[in-house]
């Protein structure tokens, strides 16, 4: 972790930002995200571990403080597509979660809550570390096709089949309910991302991410390239961004705001930029300010 | 794919590319969908003996409704319920219990059903005695101690609906030609499938087992009229009807 290592031919990734801002500030949002992911997991886990029931259930459906229902909108939609009319609490829970991510910013779920994020981030970190060659990428819109398939299966088969293989609840099931044998799905995703296709799962396929991306279209919270004029084309943000295609319009286009809802708002571009080009912005607050 | 992307960026998508890309993605996703459905359908039959919590809808409806949140599992005060795991039979993430290990204690307030947000456990079940988790079947008469003429009676004694769901039917003991045998007999109308009988059976492998109702029960065809044979026959005789 010291700078001696970087004196060789190729400079280390994001070295400029580390030199400019210090190691901690160059990893600020990465750490905040890991803490957030851990806190959500712990909020569930202290129940079965210590009998402190803050949140019961798992990411598919849960109950906050034994009163407020929360549920995965995708799981709820699948249930509705089978033709089964669920209890009100499931519908209410899905509405609350949908509303929350509508305001907080769609794919914020992917980068700040979802445990699969750790797996795909680890794979892409390894790719970077070992300078693995770029692989061909799948088409970005594949996830919307998969989302459609996931919602159509229950219509025809009458069962919510996606929940058999859905990797999002797997970690929580393993930790909270001891059902660890489902972790093979995550191992498969890790290998897919590492060796076959970059960012294949979270960046191209995941239907949960696709659903949150659709929700996030209306969200006011966005990352913005406010100092785009300072950009020195070092490409560090492109290197680290899980959804590279969202950066170019913001950096080189007319509007600095990353409005593409594929952006997971992970904030890594903010971290690794020595020029401090990016920051989080609130669209609505900004508009109100401009109108004054 | 790279070729397509580069062209797309340069000129926008033309109709041929759009149709080709859509067809490819559609085929890939269609195959994936079929695969997932296949896995799901097949694994739902892997363990037909998994017993569901009280109030569970019929297996197909249950699998439509259950979101696999585990709220019922966490609501269960006796750690009876478990979430199914991959490679172990029942559809992954769905709740079940193994009566031989921990049976259902039949809580009066049925907390597992109350906790269920999806309605895969039917909230109209308010009396636990009405539940139908499965049906106990005395599956091995050869090894059952009562069938040997002993008075084990453990399954009968432990039954929460003693003398309703399990009765002891008295029979002449052919073996000694002197004593009686008391045969544990399950009444499938009353049995809730809690599994306490299976849990306590003193044999190394239980002689009485809880099976899902669709396996344990026969069913008369809807056109059969011998449901009330005596009455029907009398009626036919009185009216002079012929078969």
- Where helices occur in chain A by DSSP H, the ranges are 15-21, 28-50, 73-82, 88-104, 108-112, 116-129, 142-157, 162-165, 170-177, 184-191, 200, 207-216, 236-240, 247-252, 268-272, 283-291
**With an 8 Å Cβ cutoff, are A56 and B115 in contact?**
yes
Residue B235 inside a domain? The answer is: no
**With an 8 Å Cβ cutoff, are A179 and B92 in contact?**
yes
Residue B163 inside a domain? The answer is: yes
Is pLDDT of A11 > 60?
yes
Residue A96 inside a domain? The answer is: yes
Residue B153 inside a domain? The answer is: yes
Residue range of the domain that includes B97: 45-132
**What is the average per-residue pLDDT within B212-235?**
72
Q: Tokens 């900004």 belong to which residue? A: A286
What is the C-alpha separation between A129 and B209, in angstroms, rounded?
56
Residue B100, judged by CB atoms within 10 A of its CB (0-12, 13-18, 19+), counts as: middle
At CA B140, angle to CA B134 and CA B144, rounded to 5?
A: 110
For chain B positions 84-123, those within 8 Å of chain A (CB to CB) are 84-88, 91-93, 115-120, 123
Residue A261 inside a domain? The answer is: no
pLDDT tens-digit readout, A50-69: 888 888 888 888 888 888 89
User: Does the ipTM surpass 0.90?
Assistant: no
**What is the average per-residue pLDDT within B180-184?**
90
**With an 8 Å Cβ cutoff, are A87 and B87 in contact?**
no
What beta strand segments (E) does A195-236 contain?
A: 221-224
What is the C-alpha separation between A182 and B21, in angstroms, rounded?
32
- Name which of A4, A146, A107 is nearest B30 in CA terms: A146
Residues B95 and B164 in one domain: no
**Total number of domains constituting chain B:** 3
B2 band by pLDDT with thresholds 50, 70 and 90: very low
**Total number of domains constituting chain A:** 1
- Give residue B61's pLDDT: 85
Residue range of the domain that includes A129: 30-215
Distance of CA B23 to the CA centre of its chain: 41
Residue A132 inside a domain? The answer is: yes
Contact residues on chain A for B91, CB-CB shorter than 8 A:
164
Residue-level length of chain A: 292
DSSP output for chain B: -HHHHHHHHHH---HHHHHHHHHHHHHHHHHHHHHHHHHHHHHTTT-TTPBPPTTBPPHHHHHHH-----HHHHH-TTS--EE--TTSSSPTT-EEB-TTTS-----TT-HHHHH-SSSSB-TT---GGG--S-EEEE--TTT-TGGGT----HHHHH-TTBTTTEEEEEEE-TTTSSSEEEEEEE-TTT-----HHHHH--SSS-SEEEE-HHHH-----TT--GGGHHHHHHHHHHHT---
Residue B139 inside a domain? The answer is: yes
- Give residue B232's pLDDT: 65
pLDDT tens-digit readout, A82-131: 888 888 889 999 999 999 998 888 899 999 999 999 999 998 888 888 88
- Give residue B216's pLDDT: 85
What is the C-alpha separation between A177 and A166, in angstroms, rounded?
16
Residues B124 and B153 in one domain: no
Phi, psi (5° rounding) for residue B15?
A: -65, -40
- Nearest CA of chain A to the CA of B40: how many Å? 6
Residues B31 and B57 in one domain: no
b or e along A177-216 (b: 16 or more beta carbons within 10 Å of the residue's beta carbon)? bebebbbebbeebbebbbeebbbbbbbbbbbbbbbbbebb
Highest-pLDDT range among A218-222, A240-244, B131-135: B131-135
Residues B127 and B53 in one domain: yes
Residue A222 inside a domain? The answer is: no
**With an 8 Å Cβ cutoff, are A79 and B37 in contact?**
no
Is pLDDT of B236 > 80?
no
**The last residue of a domain, from among B88, B111, B132:** B132
Contact residues on chain B for A93, CB-CB shorter than 8 A:
117
Residues B213 and B143 in one domain: yes
**Quick check: B192 and B28 in contact, CB under 8 A?**
no
- Give residue A250's pLDDT: 79
Instruction: Compute and round to an integer the Cα radius of gyration of chain A.
Output: 20
Interface membership of B207 toward A (CB under 8 Å): no
Q: Which two tokens stand for residue B74?
A: 């966490």
Contact residues on chain B for A181, CB-CB shorter than 8 A:
85-88
DSSP output for B200-233: H--SSS-SEEEE-HHHH-----TT--GGGHHHHH
- Name which of B116, B44, B171, B240 is nearest A56 in CA terms: B116
Residue A284 inside a domain? The answer is: no
Residue A53 inside a domain? The answer is: yes
Residues B150 and B123 in one domain: no
Q: Which of A90, A136, A182 sits opposite B85 (nearest CB)?
A: A182
Distance of CA A141 to the CA centre of its chain: 16
Residue A3 inside a domain? The answer is: no
B149 band by pLDDT with thresholds 50, 70 and 90: confident
- Does the global pTM surpass 0.90? no
Q: How many CA atoms lie within 13 A of A216 on its CB side?
A: 25
**Quick check: B111 and B81 in contact, CB under 8 A?**
no
- Give residue B64's pLDDT: 85
Contact residues on chain B for A141, CB-CB shorter than 8 A:
25
Residues B122 and B170 in one domain: no
**With an 8 Å Cβ cutoff, are A164 and B36 in contact?**
yes
Q: Could you tell me the CATH number of the domain that includes residue B168? A: 3.30.70.20
- Nearest CA of chain A to the CA of B12: how many Å? 15
- Give residue A231's pLDDT: 83
Residue B223 inside a domain? The answer is: no
Distance of CA B196 to the CA centre of its chain: 16
**Quick check: B88 and B81 in contact, CB under 8 A?**
no
Phi, psi (5° rounding) for residue A91?
A: -65, -45
Residues B84 and B142 in one domain: no
Residue A245, judged by CB atoms within 10 A of its CB (0-12, 13-18, 19+), counts as: middle
At CA A110, angle to CA B62 and CA A177, rounded to 5?
A: 45
B192 band by pLDDT with thresholds 50, 70 and 90: very high
Residue B166 inside a domain? The answer is: yes
Residue B242 inside a domain? The answer is: no
């Amino acid at each position: 972790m010291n700078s001696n290592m970087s004196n060789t031919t190729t400079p280390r990734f994001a070295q400029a930002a580390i030199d400019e801002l210090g190691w901690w500030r160059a990893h600020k949002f990465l750490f905040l995200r890991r803490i957030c992911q851990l806190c959500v997991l712990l909020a569930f886990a202290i129940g079965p571990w210590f009998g402190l029931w803050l949140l019961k259930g798992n990411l598919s459906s849960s109950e906050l403080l034994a009163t407020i229902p929360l549920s995965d909108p995708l799981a709820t939609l699948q249930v509705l597509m089978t033709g089964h009319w669920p209890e009100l609490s499931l519908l209410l829970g899905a509405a609350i979660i949908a509303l929350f991510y509508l305001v907080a910013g769609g794919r914020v779920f992917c980068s700040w809550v979802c445990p699969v994020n750790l797996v795909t981030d680890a794979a892409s970190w390894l790719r970077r570390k070992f300078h693995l060659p770029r692989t061909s990428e799948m088409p970005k819109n594949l996830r919307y096709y998969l989302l459609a398939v996931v919602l159509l299966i229950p219509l025809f088969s009458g069962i919510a089949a996606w929940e058999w293989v859905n990797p999002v609840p797997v970690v929580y099931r393993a930790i909270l309910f001891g059902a660890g044998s489902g972790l093979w799905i995550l191992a498969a995703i890790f290998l897919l991302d590492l060796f076959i296709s970059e960012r294949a799962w979270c960046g191209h396929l995941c239907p949960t991410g696709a659903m949150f991306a659709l929700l996030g279209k209306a969200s006011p919270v966005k990352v913005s390239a406010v100092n785009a004029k300072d950009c020195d084309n070092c490409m560090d943000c492109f290197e680290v961004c899980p959804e590279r295609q969202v950066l170019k319009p913001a950096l080189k286009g007319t509007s600095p705001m990353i409005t593409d809802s594929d952006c997971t708002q992970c904030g890594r571009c903010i971290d690794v930029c020595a020029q401090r080009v990016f920051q989080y912005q609130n669209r609505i607050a900004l508009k109100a300010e401009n109108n004054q | 794919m790279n070729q397509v992307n580069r062209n797309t960026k340069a000129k926008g998508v033309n109709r041929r590319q759009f149709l080709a890309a859509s067809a490819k993605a559609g085929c890939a996703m269609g195959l994936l969908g079929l695969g997932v459905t296949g896995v799901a359908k097949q694994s739902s039959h892997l363990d037909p003996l998994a017993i569901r919590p009280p109030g569970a809808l019929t297996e197909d409806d249950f699998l439509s409704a259950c979101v696999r949140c585990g709220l019922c599992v966490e609501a269960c005060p006796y750690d009876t319920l478990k979430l199914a795991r991959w490679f172990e039979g029942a559809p992954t993430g769905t709740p079940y219990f193994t009566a031989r290990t921990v049976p259902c204690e039949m809580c009066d307030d049925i907390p597992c059903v109350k906790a269920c947000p999806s309605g895969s456990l039917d909230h109209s079940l308010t009396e636990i005695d009405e539940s139908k988790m499965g049906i106990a079947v005395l599956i091995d008469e050869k090894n059952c101690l009562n069938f040997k003429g002993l008075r084990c009676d453990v399954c009968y004694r432990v039954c929460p609906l003693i003398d309703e769901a399990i009765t002891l039917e008295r029979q002449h003991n052919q073996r000694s030609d002197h004593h009686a045998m008391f045969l544990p007999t399950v009444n499938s109308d009353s049995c809730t499938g809690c599994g306490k009988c299976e849990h306590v059976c003193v044999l190394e492998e239980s002689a009485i087992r809880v099976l899902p109702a669709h396996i344990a029960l026969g069913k008369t065809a809807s056109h059969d009229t011998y449901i009330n044979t005596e009455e029907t026959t009398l009626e036919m005789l009185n009216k002079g009807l012929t078969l």
